């Protein structure tokens, strides 16, 4: 039997970071309220774990992008410094 490859562009992965965080905060509040039945609590917890993963991935990607941009900027500054030193 062939395995179905999970799409990397899953609809859940397209949730904006801010919306995912808001949903996650609502889930935490509902779990802390202790008003949910056990089955519903488990379902909500699972949803929260998925949202947490989405948020963690987005934050990690943002961090990597920032590091890449910082590195490019530093390299550009080094190149500018080399060019100016060569003009002397």
Would residue 9 count as lying in a domain? no
User: What confidence tens digit (pLDDT) does each residue in 20-33 have?
Assistant: 999 999 999 999 99
Task: Record the tokens describing residue 69, joined without a space.
Answer: 């941009």
Would residue 6 count as lying in a domain? no
Query: With contact defined as beta carbons under 8 Å apart, do 28 and 48 qualify?
Result: yes
User: What confidence tens digit (pLDDT) does each residue in 57-74 have?
Assistant: 999 999 999 999 999 999
pTM as predicted: 0.69
Q: How buried is 58 (Cβ within 10 angstroms: 0-12 exposed, 13-18 middle, 19+ buried)?
A: middle
Q: So what's the pLDDT on residue 81?
A: 72
Please report, in angstroms and rounded to a whole number, the separation of the first and last CA atoms in the chain. 70
Would residue 11 count as lying in a domain? no
Q: What domain count does the chain have?
A: 1
Question: Taking the mean position of all CA atoms in its chain, how far away is CA 73?
Answer: 24
* CATH number of the CATH domain containing 57: 1.10.287.1040
| Average pLDDT of the chain to the nearest whole number | 85
* Number of Cβ within a 10 Å radius of residue 19: 11
Q: What is the largest CA-CA distance in the chain?
A: 76
For residue 62, the enclosing domain spans 16-87
């Amino acid at each position: 039997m062939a395995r179905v490859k999970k799409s990397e562009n899953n609809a859940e992965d397209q949730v904006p970071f801010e919306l995912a965080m808001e949903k996650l905060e609502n889930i935490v509040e509902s779990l802390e309220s202790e008003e949910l039945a056990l089955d519903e609590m488990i379902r909500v917890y699972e949803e929260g774990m998925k949202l947490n993963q989405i948020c963690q991935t987005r934050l990690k990607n943002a961090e990597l992008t920032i590091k890449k941009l910082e590195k490019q900027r530093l390299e550009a500054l080094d190149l500018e410094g080399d060019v100016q030193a060569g003009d002397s």
